[in-house]
Amino acid sequence: MEQVLKIEDLRTHFFTGEGVARAVDGVSVSVGKNRTLGLVGESGCGKSVTALSILRLIPSPPGKIVDGKITLSGKDILSLPEVEMRDIRGKLASMIFQEPMTSLNPVFTIGTQIIEAVRIHTDMGKAEAREIATEYLSKVGIPAPAESMSQYPHQLSGGMKQRVMIAMALCLKPALLIADEPTTALDVTIQAGILRLIKDLQAETGTAVLLITHDLGIIAEMADEVAVMYAGKVVESGPCNSIFSSFVHPYTEGLFKSLPSRTERRRKLYTISGTVPSALRFPPGCRFHTRCPLAIEKCKSEEPPLVDVDSGHRCACWVRAGGSA
């Protein structure tokens, strides 16, 4: 199956006064049509930077995509001029963010914003664009869509705003939807609605979805494939079932074991010792070695490559995948 999105060895670094932060340091993932890739990791692992790199939205000083290749529907993203990139954003690939509060412009009605998004990318007239906007507002479950067009963002709840964002993102039928923690700021009952909506719309339009989150539960519900990131690299990837039933990498294991729901009540929770290293000072060798209970000598000096441990399931670990020295 042809991949809608293919990222090969992406490296995005930030050049700050205090050194180089290698936020994304050799990431390769791909998403196919009608498939959802879950990119999971904790804060500081580089998942959001990866997403922003796809759309080339990295603030340019101090950030820079220093290496790698991104192919979106056959187009080589990193070699395109900015003019063409602007055409792609919103049309070929669109993104929704975590904070619906700040993603919508408070001084314009939601109708205006969606219509603007449509008209920037097509040569539709106002009336036609309005029809599309109303159609998608209805699809995302906004009650009384025609009247709601003239509402302002502050009149809507968090969940409603996020639905408007989804409408804006999908109304031009992009090939790829990037959702960066779309439900983190929402209540759990509202979250269920948003996730369901994304799933339904994906089934209808065949959009590929790159879902970024730190919540393993959301991944379980939504993702077909999973990539676990740590310190700027992918440490484990594979089909969702495989990762959940037989995780390999010690970090993935640590994440699962720390979950309260997987621990008996009132028993001490498993913790991964130490903290995530700063992107300015990653440890040499395997970046997880400073916190890993299984670390051996080799881990401290050589970076493990991603190797196959099962069909489609890959892991980067000297001890668990690739034979220890």
260 binds another protein (CB under 8 A): yes
290 binds another protein (CB under 8 A): no
The least distance separating another protein from the CB of residue 264, rounded to whole angstroms, comes to 9
What gap in Å lies between CA 9 and CA 27, rounded to an integer? Answer: 5
Give the interface segment with another protein, choosing from 128-136, 146-154, 174-182, 212-220 (CB under 8 A): 212-220
Other beta carbons within 10 Å of 323:
8
152 binds another protein (CB under 8 A): no
Buried b (16+ CB within 10 A) or exposed e, 186-202: beeebbebbbebbeebb
Using left for φ > 0, alpha for ψ between -120 and 50, and beta otherwise, residue 56 falls in: left
The least distance separating another protein from the CB of residue 289, rounded to whole angstroms, comes to 16
Q: Are 102 and 144 in contact (CB under 8 A)?
A: no
- Among residues 221 and 303, whose Cβ is nearest to another protein? 221
**3-class state of residue 315 by DSSP:** strand
271 binds another protein (CB under 8 A): yes
- Among residues 6 and 314, whose Cβ is nearest to another protein? 314
For another protein, which residue of 59, 83, 127, 261 counts as binding (CB under 8 A)?
261
Buried b (16+ CB within 10 A) or exposed e, 78-96: bebeeeebeebbbbbbbbb
What gap in Å lies between CA 156 and CA 251, rounded to an integer? Answer: 39
C-alpha 268: how far from its chain's center? 31
| Pair type for strands 225-230 and 233-239 | antiparallel
The least distance separating another protein from the CB of residue 122, rounded to whole angstroms, comes to 32
The least distance separating another protein from the CB of residue 143, rounded to whole angstroms, comes to 9
The least distance separating another protein from the CB of residue 253, rounded to whole angstroms, comes to 11
Please report, as residue ranges, which positions from 32 to 71 form the binding site for another protein (by CB under 8 A): 42-43
155 binds another protein (CB under 8 A): no
What gap in Å lies between CA 72 and CA 4, rounded to an integer? Answer: 6
Sequence-separated (6 or more) residues with CB below 8 Å from residue 81: none
For another protein, which residue of 99, 128, 215, 310 counts as binding (CB under 8 A)?
215
259 binds another protein (CB under 8 A): yes
315 binds another protein (CB under 8 A): no
The least distance separating another protein from the CB of residue 123, rounded to whole angstroms, comes to 37
Total residues interacting with another protein, rule: CB under 8 A:
47
The least distance separating another protein from the CB of residue 170, rounded to whole angstroms, comes to 18
270 binds another protein (CB under 8 A): yes
- Among residues 128 and 221, whose Cβ is nearest to another protein? 221
Per DSSP (E only), the strands in 132-175 are: none
What gap in Å lies between CA 59 and CA 191, rounded to an integer? Answer: 30
Residues near another protein (CB under 8 A) are 16-17, 42-43, 157-160, 187-193, 195-196, 199, 214-218, 220-221, 223, 240-241, 244-245, 254-255, 258-263, 265-266, 268-272, 275-276
